[in-house]
């Protein structure tokens, strides 16, 4: 930890909160002294996450250790996520992302898709949205997608002659980011945060909302949001009427970039085919005899290892092991909080009040959206935000008779919401790959407000359809 004033201040606040809860008597049934200590550890970790005192994985390891020592939480509860399917699905997705980065598959897919879209600014903007949509299910981390494809977006912008930090250069990057951010709300395998939000659902709802039905049910929200945000990128950033800026995207440029990559390699072909087959087994799980998602993941990895596409060095250095440990530990909160009685206490105390707000779908959407917009200024990590909010809000939704899958949609929606770049590490990955000198960072505030408004409208459209489909209420 760097001994800066900010880090010392946040650490001191975290320690004070922890000590206070260690000595406070239980607030009521079913809380115990151990429950209060676990709650103190959790709140202290949230403060340290908000302050970015050390890497989030270091904080979650401390959380797990302290909950065992002073909270008496058993190992099987603390590490419940690591013995479930979610960890192995994440491991497979992270490893596939490393292999795709190594062989250059995502870059080739992006260039090929841009060849078939119109070459004007509007057409290229739509092309960037299509690129983000197609590669969504292939890699589970938005950071990796942004880092790999961000430089493709930059090279396309430069080839079209758009000046640095121009509205057009900025718009192309935001168009790609729009699809990278929104599509995982629909494609579970497209983001670790969506995978986490599904893992917190009760077992029967996880069965009902498998990857196929999750995608189908999300269409009334995702489709309007994608259309609205794409139109925003086009009308906000296109050249003004009568203004001549840049040129159409050249097919020769795309062919040149593909020529530099050479013909399809054996590794690219094999990774592409196996990834598509794996995703299809997830989507049509029920029709294929309920093959577990993690099983098809592990089989694909083993084939890639036999074929030489994956090796020990890639597995060791290409996989974000610290993020895997962090996400798994956070997801385990879904077992820890009920174990010590915190979930039941929250429902008994806050449930009667949230039931009033949750009784009206549109009021619920507005309240949660605004609340989560503020929380995202504090909980910057997608993993900590999603895990804490799922653990708190799902039981409240169930108590109010609302399907927690609806809450998952709202939570995922606000993962993509940011007002300042520092709020989203995934956006920053693409931003740095695109180039700090080429992107007008002031536009993130305009984009953030537009997203907040338009996503709320899209959620309200979804709410109407979801009530007609009979899935809003439990």
Supply the DSSP string of 89-128, one letter for each residue. HHHHHHHHHHHHHHHTHHHHHHHHHHHTS--SHHHHHHHH
The pLDDT, as a whole number, for residue 434 is 79
Confirm if 195 and 89 have CB atoms less than 8 A apart: yes
Q: Which two tokens stand for residue 197?
A: 């939000």
The pLDDT value recorded for residue 432 is 78
Contact 248, 117 (CB under 8 A): no
Do 71 and 37 touch, CB atoms closer than 8 A? Answer: yes
Task: Please name the residue that has the structure tokens 């000590």.
Answer: 19
Under DSSP, the state recorded for 239 is: P
Within 13 Å, how many C-alpha atoms sit on residue 133's CB side?
A: 14
Contacts with 348 (C-beta within 8 Å, 6 or more apart), sequence order = 28, 29
Nearest Cα neighbor of 66 from 40, 48, 27 is 40
CB atoms within 10 A of CB 353: 11
User: What's the Rg (C-alpha) of the chain?
Assistant: 23
CA 297 to chain centroid, in Å, comes to 20
What CA–CA distance (Å, rounded) separates 369 from 390? 14
Confidence (pTM): 0.89
The secondary structure of residue 401, as a DSSP letter, is T
Contact of 144 with 426, CB cutoff 8 Å: no
- SS3 (DSSP) at 473: strand
| pLDDT at residue 419 in the model | 72
How far apart are alpha carbons 285 and 351 in whole angstroms? 36
| pLDDT per residue rounded down to tens, the chain (474 residues) | 777 888 999 999 999 999 999 999 999 889 999 999 999 999 999 999 888 899 889 999 999 999 999 999 999 999 999 988 888 988 888 898 889 888 989 889 999 999 999 999 999 999 999 999 998 888 777 777 777 788 888 899 999 999 888 999 999 989 998 999 999 999 998 888 898 899 999 989 998 998 889 999 999 999 999 999 999 999 999 988 777 778 899 999 999 999 999 999 999 999 999 998 998 898 888 888 888 888 999 999 999 999 999 999 999 998 889 888 988 998 899 899 999 999 999 888 888 888 888 999 999 999 999 999 888 887 777 888 888 899 999 999 999 999 999 999 999 999 877 777 667 777 777 777 777 777 888 888 899 999 999 999 999 999 999 999 999 998
Per-position DSSP letters for 198-240, written without gaps between them: HHTS-HHHHHHT-HHHHHHHHHHHHHHHHHHHHHHHHHHHSPP
| pLDDT tens, position by position, 249-301 | 999 999 999 999 999 999 999 999 999 899 889 888 888 888 888 899 999 99
């Amino acid at each position: 930890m760097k001994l800066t004033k900010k880090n010392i201040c946040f650490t001191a606040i975290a320690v004070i909160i922890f000590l206070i809860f260690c000595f406070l008597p239980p607030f009521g049934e079913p809380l115990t002294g151990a429950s209060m200590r676990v709650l103190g550890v959790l709140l202290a970790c949230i403060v340290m996450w908000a302050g970015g005192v050390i890497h989030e994985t270091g904080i979650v390891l401390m959380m797990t250790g302290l909950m065992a020592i002073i909270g008496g939480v058993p190992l099987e509860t603390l590490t419940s996520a690591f013995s479930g399917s979610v960890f192995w699905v994440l491991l497979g997705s992270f490893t596939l992302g490393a292999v795709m980065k190594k062989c250059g598959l995502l870059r080739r897919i992006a260039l090929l898709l841009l060849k078939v879209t119109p070459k004007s600014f509007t057409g290229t903007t739509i092309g960037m949205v299509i690129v983000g949509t197609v590669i969504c299910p292939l890699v589970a981390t938005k950071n990796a997608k942004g880092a790999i494809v961000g430089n493709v977006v930059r090279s396309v912008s430069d080839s079209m002659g758009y000046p640095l930090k121009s509205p057009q250069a900025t718009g192309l990057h935001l168009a790609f980011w729009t699809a990278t951010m929104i599509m995982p709300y629909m494609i579970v395998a497209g983001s670790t945060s969506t995978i986490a939000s599904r893992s917190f659902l009760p077992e029967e709802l996880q069965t009902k909302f498998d990857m196929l039905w999750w995608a189908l049910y999300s269409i009334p929200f995702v489709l309007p949001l994608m259309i609205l945000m794409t139109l925003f990128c086009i009308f906000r950033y296109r050249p003004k009427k009568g203004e001549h800026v840049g040129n159409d995207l050249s097919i020769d440029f795309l062919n040149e970039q593909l020529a530099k990559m050479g013909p399809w390699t054996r590794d690219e072909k094999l990774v592409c085919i196996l990834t598509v087959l794996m995703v299809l087994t997830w989507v049509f799980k029920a029709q294929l005899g309920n093959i577990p998602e993690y099983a098809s993941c592990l089989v694909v990895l083993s084939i890639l290892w036999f074929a030489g596409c994956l090796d020990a060095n890639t597995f060791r250095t290409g996989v974000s092991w610290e993020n895997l440990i962090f996400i798994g530990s956070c997801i385990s909160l879904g077992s820890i909080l009920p174990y010590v009685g915190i979930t039941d206490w929250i429902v008994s105390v806050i449930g009667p009040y949230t039931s009033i707000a949750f009784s009206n779908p549109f009021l619920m959407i507005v309240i949660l959206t605004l609340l989560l917009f503020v929380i995202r200024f504090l909980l910057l990590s997608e993993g900590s935000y999603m895990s804490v909010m799922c653990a708190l809000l799902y039981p409240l939704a169930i108590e109010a008779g609302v399907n927690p899958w609806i809450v998952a949609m709202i939570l995922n929606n606000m993962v993509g919401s940011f007002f300042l770049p520092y709020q989203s590490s995934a956006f920053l990955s693409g931003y740095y790959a695109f180039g700090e000198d080429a992107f007008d960072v002031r536009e993130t505030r305009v984009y953030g407000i537009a997203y907040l408004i338009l996503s709320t409208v899209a959620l309200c459209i979804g709410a109407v359809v979801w009530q007609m489909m009979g899935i809003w209420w439990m």
